[in-house]
Structure 1
Amino acid sequence: MERIEKEELLEEVMIEHGDDLVRLAFHYVKDQETAKDMVQNSFIKCYEKIELFRFDSSLKTWLYRITINQCKDHLKSWHVRKVSVKNILEHAVASILPSTEDKVIQDVSNQEMKSFVQTLSTNYQEVIYLYYYKSFTIAEIAEVTGLNNNTVKTRLSRAKQKLRNLMKEDRIYD
């Protein structure tokens, strides 16, 4: 692939998927600027490795996989593991910028649901986010996360049950 073609493809991909990838990365790293860095690294990797892309899947799912791997690598890094959970949470709350979804979903019940989802483990947040907020199919989630379909279904089912239990405790879901 020629350099000009690669640059045009990269620009198109950045425009089409950039915001979605930042939101995905934010769910992992809980910091807007770090999320943007993760996505920038993903686009660099996409540019460098586009010749290796076999088109067995869509470019979108490949980019999601690259971004998730970038985030997981970041979270495994020495620096991130040494930072206290309290500091991460305080910084995340202070750095959240209103996204398109937040502007659309402004009523109280949806905000409560979002807070319930954020109490779930990353494994459950991941499948809830991709399934409900990004409208991915089970197969697409499996491809993006590297899990098998049954594992995705199980995590989705368990996440929904945990959400139901949380809502029952708050007397929202009777």
Structure 2
Amino acid sequence: MEEYVAEDVIEDKEKVIDQLMQNHGQDILQLVFSYVKNKAAAEDLTQEIFIKCYQKLDTYDGKSKLKTWLWRIAINHCKDFLKSWYTRNVFTDGYEYFQKVTNQDDVENTVIQNSEDRELMVVVMELPVKYREVIYLFYYEDLSLKEVSMVTGKNLNTVKTRLRKARKLLRKKLEG
């Protein structure tokens, strides 16, 4: 009987991870890319994150949304990666994952918008990680300030301050 229960749990874990990958895979990839600025590394890290989630799914306590739990794992994994020898010794580049897909019929407007989005993303990617992460989570993932606080593990007032500082830095870079 215990083996049957264990099989059920494994099947449920697989269903949950499959659903997480389908619903949030691209978002996690973009989040990871915002940290590492390298397509190949972002893809590898995203796979590692979902493997880690699969392995740790039984530790999910339900105190936050599953999406918030997933983002927290992703952010911690990215920060660990950035502290590693690899990132201190290997140059990374590229911005292609931040281009959001548009459904506009007007090709000219799409091209202009993509150009502006790319320019803005280049400036965002130049920000220090602590500002870049709040900008990404707040504007690109549409998380509330409270959710950003939960995901980053930072006090709500710290998140507000970082978002305000990030906006100020962006405005300065875009105007100057």
Sort the TM-score into its range (normalised by shorter chain): 0.7 to 0.9
Residue equivalent to 1:110: 117
CA contact (8 A) 2:30 2:97 kept: no
> Structure 2: where are the runs of 5+ without partners?
1-7, 104-109
Amino acid at match of 1:157: R
Bigger relative CO (Cα 8 Å, ≥ 6 apart): 2
Matching of residue 147 in structure 1 with residue 147 in structure 2 = no
> Superposition pairs for residues 91-130 of structure 1, below 5 Å?
92-93=93-94, 96-97=95-96, 101=100, 106-107=111-112, 108-130=115-137
- How far off its partner does 1:55 sit? 0.7
Question: Where do residues 19-98 of structure 1 align in structure 2 (5 Å cutoff)?
Answer: 19-83=26-90, 87-88=91-92, 92-93=93-94, 96-97=95-96
Shift of 1:101: 0.6
- SS across alignment from 2:80: helix
Task: Please identify, of 115-124 and 147-156, the stretch whose mean Cα deviation from structure 2 is larger.
Answer: 115-124
Structure 2 CA distance for partners of 1:24 and 1:58, relative to 1, 3 Å: same
Q: Tell me how far 1:103 sits from its aligned partner.
A: 5.2
SS state at 1:147 partner = coil
Task: Give the Cα separation in 1 of the matches to 2:97 and 2:133.
Answer: 20
| Identical amino acids, percent of aligned pairs | 40
Q: Does 1:4 align with 2:11?
A: yes
Aligned residues: 161
Give the 3 Å change call, closer, same or farther, for CA 144–106 of structure 1 in structure 2: farther
C-alpha deviation, 1:106, in angstroms:
3.8
Q: Alpha carbons of 1:40 and 1:49: their partners in 2 closer, same or farther (altered >3 Å)?
A: same
Per-residue Cα deviation, 1:84-121 (whole angstroms, up to 9, x for no partner): xxx32xxx23xx54555165664233332222212211
Query: What is the Cα deviation at residue 61 of structure 1?
Result: 0.8
* Amino acid corresponding to residue 28 of structure 1 in structure 2: Y
In structure 1, list runs of 5 or more residues that go unmatched.
Answer: 170-174
Q: Take 1:40 and 1:21, find their aligned partners in 2: how far apart are those partners? A: 10
> What is the TM-score normalised by the length of structure 2?
0.83
> Highest CA radius of gyration, 1 or 2?
2
Aligned partners of 1:31 and 1:98: how far apart in 2? Answer: 9
Q: Aligned-residue CA RMSD in angstroms?
A: 1.8
Instruction: Label 1:106 to 1:151 Cα distance change in 2 as closer, same or farther (>3 A).
Output: farther
- The residue type paired with residue 76 of structure 1 is K
